[in-house]
């Protein structure tokens, strides 16, 4: 159930029946040989597939996020944290005004994690509301499935290389990239981070078989769906 395919009257009736809604969170940042919108594509798709059988409305993906470390890579766009918090406040206020009280943030980008601190503050001012942030790629079931395939998995590696994040005409290296110095990377400014990363893959192979990836995807969808259903306060 996509908000883009509903009108305001349908939303009003839906919120009266079920006070849950979903907002996918992404980013526009370098992903090596994959789409710059990888995080937004994956968050939107996994949220939509997970919510569909539950008839929970999914709002359009918030494609831009907080990713200052990659700003030396052309095409990366990073919101200031203050901008992101202000934007999220307006969006949460809008969901609340529409009647939604249980809000699932299906997050596709690690840099967006600080928003949950603000969400906790926001819930303190809206005592009947509940917000859950589900980092879909970091779920224990998904990560267990990833490790069973290949524990060398990371940003811009095979783990994010699905048919819908690849680019037409772009060939993947047939290689496995060695890990970098994580401590050096963490302390480096964006330009130095680019030098350390090179093509942008953190480490591991660039691509695995579609059969493996589609099997992993189903684990991610099922785990995301569980986050929409289980253990609400």
What's residue 212's pLDDT? 97
How would you classify the pairing of strands 130-135 and 176-177? unpaired
User: What average pLDDT does this structure show over 146-158?
Assistant: 96
What's residue 233's pLDDT? 85
Nearest to 170 by CA among 76, 35, 6, 50: 35
Percent of the chain with pLDDT over 70: 100
pLDDT class for 176, splitting at 50, 70, 90? very high
Structural contact between residues 232 and 102, judged by C-beta atoms closer than 8 angstroms: yes
Q: Judging by beta carbons within 10 Å of its beta carbon (0-12, 13-18, 19+), is residue 198 exposed, middle or buried?
A: exposed
Task: Please give the structure tokens belonging to residue 119.
Answer: 């969400």
User: What average pLDDT does this structure show over 151-173?
Assistant: 97
Write out pLDDT tens, residues 89-119. 999 999 999 999 999 999 999 999 999 999 9
- Domains in the chain, ordered, with CATH? 3-229 (3.40.50.10310)
Task: Please give the structure tokens belonging to residue 228.
Answer: 């929409």
User: What average pLDDT does this structure show over 79-89?
Assistant: 97
Structural contact between residues 170 and 199, judged by C-beta atoms closer than 8 angstroms: no
User: What average pLDDT does this structure show over 114-134?
Assistant: 97
User: What average pLDDT does this structure show over 146-157?
Assistant: 96
Cα gap 107→24, rounded to integer Å: 6
Structural contact between residues 132 and 100, judged by C-beta atoms closer than 8 angstroms: no
Confidence check: pLDDT of 69 > 90: yes
User: What average pLDDT does this structure show over 41-55?
Assistant: 98
pTM: 0.96
β-bridge partners, 109: none
Confidence check: pLDDT of 141 > 90: yes
Cβ burial 13-36 (10 Å sphere, 16+ → b, else e) = ebbeebbbbbbbbbbbbbbbbbbb
Nearest to 227 by CA among 147, 135, 122: 135
Confidence check: pLDDT of 193 > 90: yes
Q: How would you classify residue 14: left for phi > 0, otherwise alpha for psi between -120 and 50, otherwise beta?
A: alpha
Q: Which residue has the tokens 């831009």?
A: 64
What's residue 57's pLDDT? 98
Task: Please give the structure tokens belonging to residue 212.
Answer: 């493996």
């Amino acid at each position: 159930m996509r908000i883009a395919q509903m009108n305001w009257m349908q939303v009003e009736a839906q919120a009266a029946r079920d006070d849950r809604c979903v907002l996918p969170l992404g980013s526009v940042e370098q992903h090596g040989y994959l789409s710059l919108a990888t995080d937004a594509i994956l968050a939107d798709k996994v949220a939509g597939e997970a919510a569909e059988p539950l008839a929970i409305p999914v709002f359009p993906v918030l494609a831009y996020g907080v990713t200052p470390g990659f700003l030396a890579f052309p095409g990366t766009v990073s919101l200031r944290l203050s901008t992101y918090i202000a934007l999220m406040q307006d969006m949460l206020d809008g969901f609340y005004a529409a009647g939604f009280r249980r809000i699932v943030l299906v997050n596709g980008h690690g840099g967006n994690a600080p928003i949950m601190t603000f969400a906790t503050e926001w819930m303190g001012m809206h005592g009947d509301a509940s917000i859950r942030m589900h980092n879909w790629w970091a779920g224990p079931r998904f990560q267990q499935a990833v490790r069973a395939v290949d524990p060398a998995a990371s940003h811009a590696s095979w783990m994010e290389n699905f048919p819908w994040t690849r680019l037409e005409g772009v060939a993947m290296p047939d290689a496995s990239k060695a890990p970098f110095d994580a401590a050096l990377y963490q302390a480096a400014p964006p330009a130095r981070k680019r030098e350390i990363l090179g093509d942008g893959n953190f480490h591991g192979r660039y691509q695995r078989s579609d059969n493996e990836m589609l099997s992993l995807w189903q684990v991610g969808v099922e785990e995301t769906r569980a986050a929409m259903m289980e253990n609400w306060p």
